[in-house]
Amino acid sequence: MGFSTRTNAAALATSTAVHTAADETPKSCKAAAANIFKVTVDNSASAADVYVALYDVAVGSVSVGTTEPNLLLLCRAGKKTSYSFRGYTALGTAGGLAFGTALTMAAGTSPAMSAGPTTKPEVTIDFT
């Protein structure tokens, strides 16, 4: 299934990464520093919960199940869940959730990320 990054016309985010079938294989959303503004997980087709792990590590350095994620998001079975990160810097500019090295993503069936989901969710990440 596909993975793409596109320009975003949203007010804060400038790019959107869409993974139509997220699994336990790490995917690079951005190979440089990023600020995340929104993550949407569409798990509506699945009968099982799914966890989306976000790593502030280059994709080649992520070992899912071993590398600790910087952020772990839960999406319940049969649901579509969005998480917004709208922080501001000391200068009053929109900051989002900062990842200083890279933005890498993977999905699993438990917080331990020991197995990938059978029914793969769609994950959309808005970032700069």
Average pLDDT score, the chain: 88
Q: With 80 as the cut, is the pLDDT of residue 93 above it?
A: no
CA atoms within 13 A on the CB side of 28: 11
pLDDT tens by residue, 49-67: 999 999 999 999 999 999 9
Q: Which residue has the higher pLDDT, 73 or 8?
A: 73
Mean pLDDT of 2-8: 51
What pLDDT is recorded for position 10? 47
Q: How far is CA 60 from CA 7, 16, 27, 74, in A?
A: 24, 21, 9, 24
pLDDT value of position 4: 52
In the prediction, which pLDDT does 1 show?
43
**Average pLDDT value for residue range 70-97:** 83
**pLDDT of 2 higher than 80:** no
Label residue 32 by pLDDT band (50, 70, 90). very high
Greatest Cα pair distance, the chain, in angstroms, is 44
In sequence order, what are the residues at sequence separation of 6 or more whose Cβ sits closer than 8 angstroms to the Cβ of residue 127? 13, 14, 15, 16, 17, 29, 30, 34, 35, 36, 37, 96, 103
Say how far residue 1 (Cα) sits from the centre of its chain: 16
The pLDDT of residue 9 is 45
The predicted model gives 103-115 an average pLDDT of 95
The pTM of this model reads 0.86
Query: What CATH number was assigned to the domain covering residues 3-127?
Result: 2.60.120
